[in-house]
Amino acid sequence: MSRREIRAQQQQGQPPVTLPLVVVTVEKGGTLIVTVDGSLFAPEAFAPAWRRSDFGRIMDRITDQRRTPVRVEVHESDGTSFTDIITPSPSRRTRPEPETANTETALETPAAPQLVEVAAEGFIPGEDIGVAIIVTHTDASHTGHARALLETAQFDASPTGEVVLIGRVSGNYEIVRHP
């Protein structure tokens, strides 16, 4: 939007267009502190702190939630900074409503996800087990057996096809390969 258009809006009593402001502060160790319009945007509970490698995922999550472009300010630990506008990725934008035909069609039901079971032994009974690529948590049974159900697409997110089950108390871990 040009300055002339903004001034015209202001003269007509309309407020100027504003974008959500995302401020990313990079700390010395490479961790990120992220705020959206002044409110902290933190990782999920028990997840590690944001890292540089999480930047794309963070921006996708923020633009997906708001379904709008955002203004991003990144402040590096060495004092440099940059500003950019990030738009929602095309796959995350709302899709236009499909054109309706005059003929009636049956509603298509989405295909059921394909699940893959991941299991390992040697955990402390009742122990919380992390499943890495950590997409979920599960509990060990009373015998120390851990099991998680994952969608095939979740396995596909791992270039190695591996999932790691990690015992948060015992420290035990098992690496399981996609069959």
26-41 residue pLDDT tens = 988 888 999 999 899 9
Neighbours of 127 (CB within 10 A): 17
CA 122 to chain centre: 31
pLDDT band at 93 (very low <50, low <70, confident <90, very high): very low
The residue-averaged pLDDT of 110-126 equals 79
Q: Which residue has the higher pLDDT, 144 or 176?
A: 144
Spatial separation of the C-alpha atoms in residues 13 and 15, rounded to whole Å? 6
Is residue 151 within 8 Å of residue 113, measured between CB atoms?
yes
Do residues 8 and 80 share a domain? yes
Handedness of CA 99, 100, 103, 106 (dihedral sign): positive
Do residues 60 and 127 share a domain? no
Three-state DSSP at 100 gives: coil
Residue 94 has pLDDT above 50, yes or no: no
pLDDT band at 23 (very low <50, low <70, confident <90, very high): very high
Do residues 9 and 82 share a domain? yes
Is residue 43 within a helix (H) or strand (E), and if so which, with residue range? none
Do residues 139 and 76 share a domain? no
Do residues 69 and 119 share a domain? no
- Residue numbers of the domain that contains 147: 115-177
pLDDT band at 108 (very low <50, low <70, confident <90, very high): low
